[in-house]
A and B are shown apart, each in its own frame.
Chain A
């Protein structure tokens, strides 16, 4: 299976803890995490936020980790908005800690997986499988008009 690149966006220190753990477990699930945080699997150090935006556009999907303190994080909102409303939108999977205030752009139009506080690792396989599905669903097929589209498994 291809090792798809997944950008992990997070807002706040609680989300960073979850994001770091998810980076590691997504790697073990055969995905290539990219995260703008030091000391974890797939960590990327950038000098400017613009470079992080560039990096985001080179990924197949975004895992948006929304936990306590994420709600007012400008950088987090910018990254998710860029993925969802960019030139070519990138699939966004919202990974939300139960009971936390959720940023507006994650409330509608994207798949949500919730986890209880401290229970994020148990959701890892589900997150990885959903990310693969979203990526697969983003690749449409092009055929001549006289032909029928081939049937694929995307749900």
Chain B
């Protein structure tokens, strides 16, 4: 059997990097919700790494390791998405620590809280998914969800991009973010992209040690132009689950 050097094919490595970055660019919401700036590599501060490190099989990066008559695509689906999800989790954890939480009875009172902040130039709202139906079929005319180029939450005469919680980014409060309240600071790699991809051969294990990550931090510039709200009134529930009902095999 011919000897195959354990070195990643440059074109397969490049395609892998492109795929991770494309997936990230399509999934990340951070540039839609925060002012961003790039930091030099030596900038200090509480920067974090967000991403995954794993072993990949050699046929991803070395064409000749694939079984004969088989083409292995040099891509792993979901790596960019996982960075985007991690970013959002980190983002939520920081604003949860920084923003003041107001406890109110219902959504009408929540609207009054926002009215009490006349300087708030609202840009983004994070909403617990449990309130999805309340906002799509509101009982009061203050709230409305609008589907334009993106989804917006209309509250009286204010309009904010709306993002819902889900199983990967869970929260049970409403978060309202005003323009200029937060800044996302990222350390790009040498190519200038926010996502760093490193691929190192591990000859002993005959695998590649792969890291896909972003290095960034969130700075809360002014916590007074942001607000967290916890509602006492539970969301409406219109559906019925019957997960255990029919044990048909």
Interface residues of A (CB under 8 A from B): 5, 24, 32-34, 39-48, 50-51, 53-55, 57-60, 85-91, 109-111, 134, 137-145, 147-155
Contact = CB atoms under 8 A, between A and B. Distances in A.
A46 B238 CA distance: 7
Contacts of A58: 129, 166-167
Contacts of A140: 50-52, 82-83, 85-86
A143 B168 contact: no
Contacts, number: 161
B57 interface: yes
Contacts of A148: 49, 53
B166 A88 contact: yes
A149 B50 CA distance: 8
Interface string B74-100: 001111011111101110000000000
Size category, B interface: 35 or more
Interface of B: 23, 26-27, 29, 46-57, 76-79, 81-86, 88-90, 129, 132-133, 136-137, 151, 162-164, 166-169, 209, 211, 213, 215, 238-243, 245-249
Contact of B243 (A39, A41, A87): A41
A89 B82 CA distance: 9
Contacts of A134: 77-78
Contact of B53 (A33, A144, A149): A149
Given A32-B243, A41-B243, A110-B77, A149 B213 contact: yes
Nearest to A154: B54
Given A87-B163, A151-B53, A139 B247 contact: no
Given A55-B239, A140-B82, A149-B211, A41 B49 contact: no
14 contacts: A24-B248, A41-B246, A44-B239, A44-B242, A50-B132, A54-B132, A59-B167, A88-B85, A137-B82, A140-B50, A141-B52, A141-B53, A144-B48, A154-B52
Given A58-B167, A139-B85, A45 B48 contact: no
